[in-house]
Structures are given as C-alpha cells and as structure tokens.
Amino acid sequence: MKILVTGGLGFIGSHTCVELINRKHRIVVADNLSNSNIETLEKINEITGVIPDFHQIDVTEESKLEELFNKYDFDGVIHFAGYKAVGESVEKPLDYYYNNLVSTIKLSEMCLKYNVDKFVFSSSATVYGDNKSPLKEDMKLLPTTNPYGETKAISERILKDTAFANTDFAVSLLRYFNPVGAHESGLIGEDPKGVPNNLMPYVSKVAKGELDKLYVFGNDYDTVDGTGVRDYIHVVDLAEGHAAALENLNSGVNIYNLGTGKGTSVLEIINTFIKVNEVEVPYEIVERRPGDIAVSYADTKKAEKELNWKAKRNIEDMVRDSWRFELN
C-alpha cells in the first residue's frame, strides 16, 4: 500500500518506516523536524536501501496537506506527528492542544476528501488515567494528569466520531505503553532534543557520562521495590504492531494496546542496563514526580488475537539496543 507517515523521522515513526518498507509498502514521510533530524532519512535508506519521499511540512497546515494528498494516491495514513513531552504540555497547553488536535482534524478532513480509508493513530496508555492495571481497551477512560494525555484522548474521540459518521473511514487507535530500545543496526533510536524526559534515554546518557546521575522519582510506591512500574516495549516490536494494525484494518473503530503485558520497575531497568552493558549508572532516589502513577502495564490479549501480533523482545534486548544506539 501507499502510506503517508506523519512524524516519520521521529523515534517510533522512523522504526515503523523501516518495518513498512521491509514489508514492501511504499511510504511518503511528512515531518516538520521539530523533534527529529533530517539525517534519519539517510539512516532509513542505509537500513532498507530505500529513500522514502520526504516533505518537510507542518501537518496542521491545510494547504501543504492539500498538495500532498493531491500529489499522491494514499491508501492509508499513520499519524505519529505530535508533541509528546508530558511536563512541557503542562507549561504550554495551547501549543499542545493546537498542534496535536488540529493535525488530527486536518488529516482526517483530507482522508475524507481524497477517499483515504485507513487511519492508524499513535495514541498512548496515558489515556487510561489512573485505571488499575492490567489495562484493557474496553475500560472507561479516566481524566489524564496533563494536556498531552488529554490531546491523545480527544484525538481518539475525534477519530471515533469521524469513523462512525463515515462508514468507509476505518481507524486503528494504538495505545503505546513505554517505547524503548532501538533498531539492531544502532543507526536509528530515541534521540530527543535537550535533556531527556523519559527514563531509558536518560539512563543511556548517564552511562555515557553526558549526565552525571539519574534521579529516581520516588521509591515509596506500593511496588516490588518501591519504584515506578511500567510496561516497556521494544520500539521494533511496536513498529511491527503498526504494520499489523495497518494490514488488518478493514472497517470501523479498532483500539489496541501495544505493550508486553509485563511490568518492570525503575531499579530493575537500571540493574539490567548495568549488567547487560557492563557500565555504571549512578543514581539518587528523590521525590516522586507529580502526575506519575505507581503501576501501568497492558492486557495484550486483544492485539494478540485480532492482529496476530505479540511483542517478542525482552528487557535485556531493550537495554542492549538502547546502549548500542547511544554509543553510535
């Protein structure tokens, strides 16, 4: 199929581009490079031997989207482009609501206008709020603790309502848990601009000496060792999940957790990173981070059954691949 991948040079977008190309899909990347690098295009070529068509555009701009949908006869869209820093969203809510919601609305309008009937959306486990794990797709969503999470919940609602009103328009809402790791080549990976918000890139930079120590946000949670527990999923497993969702998308509204179903604590991540990569990761226990929940992990039965997809890579693979990318 011919697929528009918005945010296709980002962390998850670039890994999904590689997977789609490997599966012989033709892809077109739209990315405004606000949190990604143009070099990633060449890295995708090095890995796959294919240079995707690339357009440096902001997917909130209707005129730019019109040109794109006019030029290509897309079979589907995978929408990754969006701001995704929880803390930043609290400081700049209007930027987040505008960018993340207008991009979803404009892309949906273009799909209806140009009869593009498959829309895969990058959602997040954050939309569950503080529901109790294991988190299931049919749970009632609870308010999230930040504008970023709300933009994901509202975008899901926009796409659901649009699919209900237009029976030819099929959507797949993919709720990621905690994406980590990198492609085995070490050529692409998580490379956030500035100081990382997320745990794994922060640990990698401490191990490399770019940051002096990791601050562990609380060890007084009701968990195996008091630190936060999350469902870390290898980004290549996540990419394979997107390809499976796209290839199985036929009609209506489809919602899937993309996780491993297993929870891992912060200290377990640190200790595994140290053991597997034979490095030091100095850390200090500090206060909890506002808005954090204690435990989050997925019920993965629905994606396994309906998409015939299951995450294959384990925590050792994740820390090994993260470190290889950091060294590159």
- Return residues touching ligand WQD (CB under 6 A): 84, 86, 124, 126, 178, 197-199, 202, 214-217, 228, 230, 266, 289, 292
Question: How far apart are CB 210 and ligand WQD at their closest, in Å?
Answer: 14
Task: Identify which of residues 65 and 239 has a Cβ nearer to ligand WQD in the complex.
Answer: 239
Q: How far apart are CA 152 and CA 298, in angstroms?
A: 17
Sorted by sequence, the CB contacts under 8 Å of residue 248 that are 6+ apart come out as: 306, 307, 308
Sequence-ordered alpha helix ranges (H) in the chain = 11-22, 39-48, 62-71, 86-91, 93-113, 147-165, 199-208, 235-247, 266-277, 301-306, 315-327
Three-class SS state of 88: helix
Question: How far apart are CB 147 and ligand WQD at their closest, in Å?
Answer: 12
Q: Label residue 87 left, alpha or beta by phi (over 0 means left) and psi (-120 to 50 means alpha).
A: alpha
Q: Which of 148, 176, 202, 297 is catalytic?
A: 148
Please say if 148 is a catalytic residue.
yes
Task: Identify which of residues 39 and 225 has a Cβ nearer to ligand WQD in the complex.
Answer: 225
Task: Identify which of residues 159 and 238 has a Cβ nearer to ligand WQD in the complex.
Answer: 238
Task: Identify which of residues 68 and 99 has a Cβ nearer to ligand WQD in the complex.
Answer: 99
Give the residue at shortest CB distance from ligand WQD. 228
Question: How far apart are CB 214 and ligand WQD at their closest, in Å?
Answer: 6
Closest by CA to 322, choosing from 178, 200, 198, is 200
Three-class SS state of 50: coil
Question: How far apart are CB 216 and ligand WQD at their closest, in Å?
Answer: 4
Q: How far apart are CA 262 and CA 202, in angstroms?
A: 22
Question: How far apart are CB 66 and ligand WQD at their closest, in Å?
Answer: 29
Three-class SS state of 275: helix
Do residues 299 and 261 lie in contact, with contact meaning Cβ atoms separated by under 8 Å?
yes
Do residues 183 and 18 lie in contact, with contact meaning Cβ atoms separated by under 8 Å?
yes
Task: Identify which of residues 109 and 292 has a Cβ nearer to ligand WQD in the complex.
Answer: 292
Task: Identify which of residues 50 and 141 has a Cβ nearer to ligand WQD in the complex.
Answer: 141
Closest by CA to 176, choosing from 98, 238, 251, 240, is 238
DSSP state of 309: -
Question: How far apart are CB 68 and ligand WQD at their closest, in Å?
Answer: 25
Sorted by sequence, the CB contacts under 8 Å of residue 305 that are 6+ apart come out as: none
- Active site members: 148
